[in-house]
Every structure is written in C-alpha cells, then in structure tokens.
Amino acid sequence: MAAQSATASRSGLRSALPLLAPAYIWLTVAIFLPLSAMVFFSFMTDLPLSGKPWAFTLGNYAAFFSQSLYLTLLLASLRLGLEVTLWCIVIGYPAAYVLAKVLKGRSREAIFLLVILPFWSNGLVRIFSWAMVLREGGILDTALNAVLPFKINIDLMYSYPAVIIGLVHSYVPYMVLTCYLTLQAIDDSLIEAGRSLGATRLQVLKRVIIPLSMPGLVAGAALIFVPVVGSFMEPRILGGRTGTFYGTVIEDQFVAVFNWPLGAALSFILLAVVLVILAIASPVLRRAA
C-alpha cells in the first residue's frame, strides 16, 4: 500500500464505495426514489395503498391541459418569479457593487455578513414579520399617518404587492451574495484602464462591469426564480385570498383536497418547467465555474 505513490491512482471505486454508499443510499431513498415515485403516481387514478381500485391514466395531465385554471396559475407563478427576480436584481446588484468595490477591510466583512445573515434565519418567521408591518393599523400605516398631515389608510396586507415585498425580502440576499462573488473577482485595473482610455462611468459599467459579472447575475436569478415559482407559504400568509398561485394549488391537493395523483402531476409539470429553466441557465453558470 505504502509503496504506491499517488493517492489518486489507488484502486478507485472499491476503496471509495464503503465511504460513499451510506450517503448516496440515503439520498436515493429520500430524494431520488420519491421523485421517481411521484412521476409514477401522476399516471394513476388513485393511490394503490388506499385499498380502492386503481388504474393507469393520463387524466391528471389532461386535467392540467383542459382546465385553463391550472395553466393560468402556472403563468401567474412564473410572472411572480420574474417580478421578484427583477426586483432582486434592481435592489441587490448595486448593493453587491458597493460591497465589492467601495467598502474595504473589516467594515466590508461585517456588512457582508449582516446582509446574508437574515437569509439563514427562518423564512416563515420573516414572512410573518412583514405581516406586522403591512397590515392596517400596522407599523407602516401608523408611521405614515404620524408624519403626513392628512389621514391615509395603508392596507397592503393580503395583496399582490405584499407577496412581492415579502418574497423580495426573503431572496434578495441570494442576489447580493452571487453578484458580490463575481464582482469581487473583477480586477480593479480593468476598470481603471477603461476610465483612463476615456470611457465614462456609465460606459465602464455597461461594457466592462456588467458583462464580467453576468455569471453572478444569472446564478442569482436562477436561485431566486426557481423557489419563488414553487412558493406557497408566502402567498398564503401575505396574499390571503389574492394569494392563489400554482404552489398553493399543489399544497391544496395534498393537504385539503387529497387528490394526490393530480398533485403529483402538477408537481411534475412544475419540476419539468424548473429543469428547463436550469438547463437554459447552466451554460452561463458553467462558464463561470
């Protein structure tokens, strides 16, 4: 054993297998088999375990395509994902730029940590905290009425903007993180070179900084868009009755209506959409890595 020099050349798979097997068996049982089972169940009329008779059917998919409701909701969720992603870019990119290129040393480290810290705290709690701010008689309402000379009623709670605000708050740290990583890697001398050759600040931004940070923007966009399209808890809490989206309909199939096969079909359609989006984003991401 000791005679062999490079670790890499030692008989690969047989030595690796005992170390790898437990983790990958676990992933198979809890992730990959369930995803396959979901595809299988989506073609059934009923669950085989419930004792009731079942048969194979395309009905669950036919339901999606024949009733415009599901397609409308999927489009609404895709639009929600797009809007939230755009707001995250508008808000997050400048912040990432300031972090990467303006702040330095310890203050940069501390502020960077502060920006991504909420991201690792409970998402449900953060959505709940917006309910405190947005509801009628909430903080926003009270504060604005204290400042303004006339009486206004701000009741954003249970509206589409409330859902957008909550989701942007939840996901903007992702965009700051991914853009910061690519912006930080841009050599300052490239920016200086552009400036000394006579380019304006705006030209440098458009021709040098944005193209070079594109991988971070795309990574952030993919990381935000995908979970937002599948969100259901945020629209439920902040959207109320206006908060019906594709995700909430899937939730209903599993916890209220108990039509699991239809839920599985709807989930699988969402998975297909998500995979297409990740596939579109992946060339840009691979170039970054």
Q: Closest CB to other proteins among 102 and 152?
A: 102
User: Which stretch, 54-62, 148-156, 210-218, 222-230, contacts other proteins (CB under 8 A)?
Assistant: 222-230
Binding residues among 150-179 for other proteins as defined by CB under 8 A: 169, 172-173, 176-177
Query: How far is the CA of 170 from the CAs of 4, 6, 69, 113, 265, in angstroms?
Result: 52, 46, 28, 16, 28
- Quote the least distance from Cβ 36 to other proteins, whole Å: 8
Report yes or no: 216 and 181 within 8 Å, Cβ to Cβ: yes
Q: What is the DSSP letter of 262?
A: H
Q: What is the DSSP letter of 37?
A: H
Helix (H, G, I), strand (E, B) or coil at 112: helix
- Quote the least distance from Cβ 83 to other proteins, whole Å: 17
* Dihedrals phi, psi of 84, to nearest 5 degrees: -65, -40
Binding residues among 58-117 for other proteins as defined by CB under 8 A: 91, 94-95, 97-99, 102-103, 109, 111-117
Q: Is 216 in the site for other proteins (CB under 8 A)?
A: no
For the stretch 152-165, what's the b/e string if a residue is b when 16 or more beta carbons lie within 10 angstroms of its beta carbon?
A: eebebbbbbebbbb
Q: Is 211 in the site for other proteins (CB under 8 A)?
A: no
- Quote the least distance from Cβ 1 to other proteins, whole Å: 8
Exactly one of 46, 63, 138, 159 binds other proteins (CB under 8 A); that residue is 138
Q: Is 280 in the site for other proteins (CB under 8 A)?
A: no
